[in-house]
Amino acid sequence: MSPPVAVLHPDSWSSPRENVASTGATILSFARTPEWVAPGLTVKQAAFLASQPQTPCVVIDVDVVGQNYNRLTDALPGVEVFYAVKANPLRPVLERLAGLGSSFDTASLPEIDSCLELGVDPSRISYGNTIKKARDIAAAHERGIGLFAFDSAEELQKIAQNAPGSKVFCRLFVENEGAQWPLSRKFGCSSAMVRELLIEADRLGLQAHGISFHVGSQQTNPEQWDVALRRVAELFVALESDGVSLGMINLGGGLPASYDLTELDAKPYGERILGQIDALFPNGRPRLLVEPGRYMTGNAGVLEAEVVLVSRKDADAEKRWVYVDAGRFNGLAETEGEAIRYPVAVVSRAGEGDALAESGPVILAGPTCDSVDILYDKAGYQLPLDLRSGDRLRFMATGAYTTTYAAVGFNGFAPITAHCV
Amino acid sequence: MSPPVAVLHPDSWSSPRENVASTGATILSFARTPEWVAPGLTVKQAAFLASQPQTPCVVIDVDVVGQNYNRLTDALPGVEVFYAVKANPLRPVLERLAGLGSSFDTASLPEIDSCLELGVDPSRISYGNTIKKARDIAAAHERGIGLFAFDSAEELQKIAQNAPGSKVFCRLFVENEGAQWPLSRKFGCSSAMVRELLIEADRLGLQAHGISFHVGSQQTNPEQWDVALRRVAELFVALESDGVSLGMINLGGGLPASYDLTELDAKPYGERILGQIDALFPNGRPRLLVEPGRYMTGNAGVLEAEVVLVSRKDADAEKRWVYVDAGRFNGLAETEGEAIRYPVAVVSRAGEGDALAESGPVILAGPTCDSVDILYDKAGYQLPLDLRSGDRLRFMATGAYTTTYAAVGFNGFAPITAHCV
């Protein structure tokens, strides 16, 4: 799979509305010629980037976030959306989602406070990290948070002591086959332990509310939810026989963001998941939650970087090295292991005509003196042969897991700037 | 190689001077019984940590930095030390080194400015990143910086245009066998290209000053410098025949920090390197530079973290998961791939006696909801069986590449705090 390369034309951007053609609600393409199609850039992003802001920067179009939310609630009717704040906690993103009625899945006390500051009711916030300090649980409880995740005996004890009477859900470990960014065994526990711990939760005076799972980030196979749901349904039955009635399934995240810039379509996922639930719970659906992060913000961002250097290590080296001012330590952390392959667009130089330059293979790397600060080597990216320092690249679909990952000052470089449009 | 586990005793710390025994200049051990030996903690660090500062934090003893500097200049007489600022740019660290006469290797304009602000003369600063924006080269030149690294034709052009007349050195690519943190092919070019580019540098009106190389970070085999030096000597001869007289060898970094907490000994490295240079350059040594980073600050820091959770994924799971409040995104970035294995000490609880608890295997992980935020799995760490949340762990030898690597706010967590003592 060769990543897409596109040449954009800054001279079009002075009036982007005239030069772009809509291929969907906000997924726009430069349409002068088919070769130059660069889907994924919105009119607002194009207009902002026309001013050549200082690089590196991420430009988030919050309208896209809103559209993703609406598309998801259409695809999953009756399912409560808890946006995973960690994916992108920028205030305008949270504001837009709060306004649309989203709930929020949080990983820490500062994330909880970000939501509360916007006026989100505590009942719409879950403390979804299974790893919490006792004092942070207490502080969340004091703020009115009443829904907590856990996956271990010690965490359950901490919640019982510091947030008595709260609703809790236990995270079940499931395999992540088919996920582009599979999760490790870091989260979740066995079915046997889920059962044991939910009985214990009940005994400790907590409300044994339900079960969560996560099929892996960027899960491209809708059938992966089937396996997990069957195990959840078995646990519901088993716990009922233990005298513990569960009421909720947290479907986790995993819905893929559109890294290949095709239209997002959550419908097939939604139909399959809800169909499976209806088959497994013939007496009626339990309360259903979903925790999208990447799905909600991934395609809402574009990261613009400047080429700092193009070099060959030897006169006859086939691959060029292309160093840009955004790397693994200031925005592109998820290129680790070349797992997430962002589409890369080349911004052509003003006044240099429309010809698509001939391309050749490159290794893309970040600007630091750190040898692991390499973005793509094996992924097979190709960039124009006439690329040179000062040119600008756009990493598309970089709205999730970019800004907050950036290092405070590694090698002296400032963290990446984020702009919401 | 099983990582060391030590149990420290906070009740000793009220008067650490009485309870610690020096085993070197500042490498101190808790010496109540041999089992409790925890080398690597200094009196000043112990005193500071006795106050139980908020975790996670790194405590740097700048005296250790100073001693490392002196030890290095003893081991490499006549070699100019250019401290690699990126390893730890905290102001007290730079101040101490500046006061001792160190020069500075910088990766960016902000690092250059950090040094200049301390009153360091521009002649003692090199701009050692081979990847620089043209405008940053110009800004450095304007500030009086006159020594620049490069490894490609385009970079050389940028330097010639933006810092005319400057001294330049070209980075030669050498293999990194024997390095615990081997560098990729990101930096350096072939011998043939080094020769060609230094001739070109001369032609462009720059001073073709010398050649640099890097044997890989944490290089444990002193013989690795031999190979590189032979190639450098050949290039000196070849370039002399081209009419270009070089005057400098930059030996790079690579001197290992003491991650196993044994006494640092740079002497064998120094003797071998200088002996080799004398053999290769019988008419006299060229100017010699060295760029230590990790060596200078690695063993000067201790990172204290709090255990947030200890769990088993299944009732009969052998390995426990130990989650701490410092992870790959707030201080311990170099655990990536389990490359750097920090010694971990457990701080025992006040008033719970001196018995060393029985230990068992653990997976150590950070506090975020990110599945790659795992510190050590395969490395085989063991921690006490009675470990529980609220306990404190110390990651020893964490003075280099920790504070600046921390993310600005991933998962809402603040970057790690640094204290200099």
- The three-state DSSP-derived secondary structure of B107-158 is CCHHHHHHHHHCCCCHHHEEECCCCCCHHHHHHHHHCCCCEEEECCHHHHHH
pLDDT at position A3 over 70: no
pLDDT at position B21 over 70: no
pLDDT at B157: 98
pLDDT at position A288 over 50: yes
Q: Taking CB atoms and an 8 Å cutoff, what residues of chain A touch B133? A: 306, 308, 325, 389
Highest mean pLDDT among A32-36, A92-96, A251-255, B48-52: A92-96
Q: Is B128–A388 a contact, with Cβ atoms under 8 angstroms apart?
A: no
Q: What is the ipTM, given to two decimal places?
A: 0.86
Q: How confident is the model at residue A173 (pLDDT cuts 50, 70, 90)?
A: very high
**Range list of β-strands (E), B294-350:** 301-311, 320-324, 344-347
Distance (Å) from the C-alpha of residue A19 to the closest C-alpha of chain B?
A: 32
Mean pLDDT, residues B185-210 = 96
Mean pLDDT, residues B275-299 = 95
pLDDT at B136: 98
pLDDT at A259: 66
What is the Rg, in whole angstroms, of the alpha carbon atoms belonging to chain B? 23
Mean pLDDT, residues A314-325 = 92
The set of catalytic residues of B is 369
pLDDT at A409: 85
Interface probe for B, chosen from A108, A369, A375 (most Cβ of B below 10 Å), is: A369
Q: Which of A154, A192, A413 sits opposite B315 (nearest CB)?
A: A192
pLDDT at A20: 31
pLDDT at position B253 over 90: no
Q: Measured between alpha carbons, how far is B232 from B210 in angstroms, rounded to an integer?
A: 9
Q: Which of B131, B134, B408 sits opposite A404 (nearest CB)?
A: B408
Q: A174-188, A395-409, B40-54, B200-214: which has the minimum mean pLDDT?
A: A174-188
Q: Taking CB atoms and an 8 Å cutoff, what residues of chain A touch B405? A: 329, 407, 410
**B376 to A184, A363, B245, B372: CA distances (angstroms):** 13, 29, 49, 11
Q: Taking CB atoms and an 8 Å cutoff, what residues of chain A touch B86? A: 368-370, 410-412
Mean pLDDT, residues A299-310 = 95
Q: A41-50, B99-108, B118-127, B367-376: which has the minimum mean pLDDT?
A: A41-50
Q: Which residue has the higher pLDDT, A14 or A362?
A: A362
Q: A257-271, B46-60, B312-326: which has the minimum mean pLDDT?
A: A257-271
pLDDT at position A78 over 60: yes
Q: What is the mean pLDDT of chain A?
A: 86
Q: A66-70, B5-9, B260-264, B289-293: which has the minimum mean pLDDT?
A: B5-9
pLDDT at A406: 84
Q: How confident is the model at residue A356 (pLDDT cuts 50, 70, 90)?
A: low
* Each residue's pLDDT tens digit, B210-228: 999 998 777 777 788 898 9
pLDDT at B352: 63
- Identity of the residue numbered A373: D
Q: Measured between alpha carbons, how far is A367 from A395 in angstroms, rounded to an integer?
A: 15
Q: Which two tokens stand for residue B225?
A: 């410098």
Distance (Å) from the C-alpha of residue A186 to the closest C-alpha of chain B?
A: 6
pLDDT at position A165 over 60: yes
Q: Which helix (H) or strand (E) holds A338?
A: none
pLDDT at position B409 over 90: no
Count how many pairs of residues, chain A against chain B, have C-beta atoms within 8 Å.
Answer: 219
Q: Is A308–B415 a contact, with Cβ atoms under 8 angstroms apart?
A: no
pLDDT at B180: 66
pLDDT at position B33 over 70: no
Q: Which two tokens stand for residue A317?
A: 């080296």
Check if the beta carbon of residue A86 is closer than 8 Å to that of residue A332: no
pLDDT at position B18 over 50: no
pLDDT at B219: 77
Q: Which of B312, B325, B371 sits opposite A183 (nearest CB)?
A: B371
Q: Measured between alpha carbons, how far is A406 from B329 in angstroms, rounded to an integer?
A: 9
Q: What is the mean pLDDT of chain B?
A: 85
**A96 to A66, A67, A296, A411, B49: CA distances (angstroms):** 6, 10, 11, 35, 44
pLDDT at B261: 56
Mean pLDDT, residues A268-278 = 92
Give the rounded percent of residues in chain B with a pLDDT score beyond 70: 85
pLDDT at position A282 over 90: yes
pLDDT at position A222 over 90: no
* Each residue's pLDDT tens digit, B330-364: 999 989 888 788 888 888 776 665 445 678 899 99
Q: Which helix (H) or strand (E) holds A331?
A: none
Q: What are the structural domains of chain B?
A: 5-61+298-420 (2.40.37.10), 63-296 (3.20.20.10)
Residue B125 phi/psi, 5-degree rounding, is: -125, 130
Q: How confident is the model at residue B43 (pLDDT cuts 50, 70, 90)?
A: confident
Mean pLDDT, residues A214-226 = 81
Q: How confident is the model at residue A24 (pLDDT cuts 50, 70, 90)?
A: very low
- Beta-sheet pairing, A320-324 with A125-127: unpaired
pLDDT at position A287 over 80: yes
pLDDT at position A16 over 70: no
Side-chain-facing half-sphere of B373: CA atoms under 13 Å: 22
pLDDT at A12: 33
pLDDT at position B32 over 70: no
